[in-house]
Chain A
Amino acid sequence: MKTLERQLRHSNAERWNDEIKHSNWTKGNDMNQKTSITKLELVEPTKNFAPSTEGKWGKLLSIFNPLGSIANMYATTLAYKIETKRLEAEIVRIENQAAIAHSVIDKTYQLKMEELLQKRIALVGFYASVNAELDRLHIERMTVLEMAKCSQQHVFVSGLSLEERQMLKEMTLEILRELPRFGEQANISLQKLVQALPPVEIPPRLLSE
């Protein structure tokens, strides 16, 4: 009788339960970790896989009653089949989840690229306007400088009275005083450009891990 009881303790259902518990294809602890949309969820193992349908005395009785063994076997087979069906459903779930993850990656990428495009368009417009302003300032500056040259030459043209020369000199000085203003404006424009410059950095992650 003792031998029979020992055999019962190691019934098939219990052995298979142990196999599943020790299989390393699922890690229960990982399920507790923070899940990301791009990380597929692991498949949870069944905790009570094909439990024996018999109690302590039932097992003993089943030794003398083949119908007990048949019932046990039937329950185990059924449990395996149910678990197989569940795994089939899990495959469908994994495939759907993967499709969602791919879609999320694509959409995030498109969104970020659109952001970059818009930023680029805005910057191109900004650079064009500031550069046009710098061009204008340069032309004005050079024109004013030419005026100063011309005015200086006229100060010393023969046949002018001292008053006229004095007036032309004052005009030249006034023009010369105007020149730094263009430089200052140009510097302000450049400063605007430098300030609008984005910092050099490693691009941010598209999706969190």
Chain B
Amino acid sequence: MDWLVSLGKEYINATMRFYSRYPSNTARKNWQEKRDQVQRTLEEHQQNIDRHIAQAQSSYDFHFLTDLHFSSVNVANSAHKLLNDAKEHLAGINDLLIGSKEQRATLQATLESARANKDKVLIHETIEQLKMLNELRKNVFEEKEKIKQEKDQLFAKLKELNCRTSELKELIKTHCGSKGRDWYNKRLEARRNH
């Protein structure tokens, strides 16, 4: 009787092993392959998206910063132009002072000569002219001082703007990848050739 029970057990075990392995194993294999495929697809797409974002960001950063640089250069150019204008103005004022100095020398010579000739009318007239001239010179000196101050302020502003431009150039070089470095090197090259 025992042999019949053990035979029955063996039969049942064999049947279970057979049914539990064969068809569901194929399905399981398919499922695992599909699972791996999903994982690969997910990773690939995520990598592509990350790469796409990085590219777009880099390009945007480049344009954003070069636009800032463009603005900065434009304003610095205007400041530079104003500084040159102030210098030109100062040169004009100096011309005015030189002219008045020459005029004073002439008037002083006339005064000396009038005093020597004791020409009272000419002495009076020349002294009046010298007074006028001195008043004019005083005003011109005041104007010169104002322009000097203006020039100094413009120079300080220009230095500040140039600093900003330089800072932006460095930022483009370090922040925008190869595109930024190329841009920086081209500008450096152009500056050397200039």
Residues of A within 8 A of B (CB): 12, 16, 23, 25, 38-40, 42-43, 63-64, 66, 69-70, 72-73, 76-77, 80-81, 83-84, 87-88, 90-91, 94-95, 97-98, 101-102, 105-106, 108-109, 112-113, 116, 119-120, 123, 127, 130-131, 134, 138, 141-142, 145-146, 148-149, 152-153, 155-156, 162, 165-166, 169, 172-173, 176-177, 179-180, 183, 186-187, 189-190, 193-194, 196-198, 200, 202-203, 205-207
Q: Are the CB atoms of A84 and B79 closer together than 8 Å?
A: no
10 residue pairs bridging A and B, Cβ less than 8 Å apart: A38-B53, A73-B20, A112-B60, A123-B67, A131-B81, A149-B96, A152-B136, A155-B133, A156-B107, A165-B129
Known contacts A141-B85, A156-B103, A169-B135; A80/B67 CB under 8 A: no
Q: Are the CB atoms of A203 and B61 closer together than 8 Å?
A: yes
A76 to B164, CA, bound (A): 70
Q: Are the CB atoms of B64 and A203 closer together than 8 Å?
A: yes
Known contacts A43-B42, A109-B56, A180-B146; A73/B24 CB under 8 A: yes
A38 to B95, CA, bound (A): 69
Q: Are the CB atoms of A66 and B89 closer together than 8 Å?
A: no
Closest 3 CB pairs of A and B: A80-B27, A98-B45, A203-B64
Q: Is B113 located at the chain interface by the 8 A CB criterion?
A: no
Q: At the interface, is chain A mostly helix, strand, loop or mixed?
A: helix
A160 to B28, CA, bound (A): 118
Which residues does chain B contribute within 8 Å of A190, judged by CB atoms?
Answer: 75, 78-79, 82, 154, 157
For this complex, into which size category does the number of interface residues on chain B fall?
35 or more
Q: Are the CB atoms of A94 and B45 closer together than 8 Å?
A: yes
CB closest chain-B residue, reference A199: B68
CB distance from A87 to the nearest CB of B (A): 4
Which residues does chain B contribute within 8 Å of A186, judged by CB atoms?
Answer: 82, 85
Of B27, B72, B99, which is in contact with the most chain A CB atoms at under 10 Å from its CB?
Answer: B27
Q: Are the CB atoms of B71 and A80 closer together than 8 Å?
A: no
Known contacts A131-B78, A173-B139; A94/B96 CB under 8 A: no
Cβ-neighbour of A105 out of B20, B49, B78, B81 (below 8 A)? B49
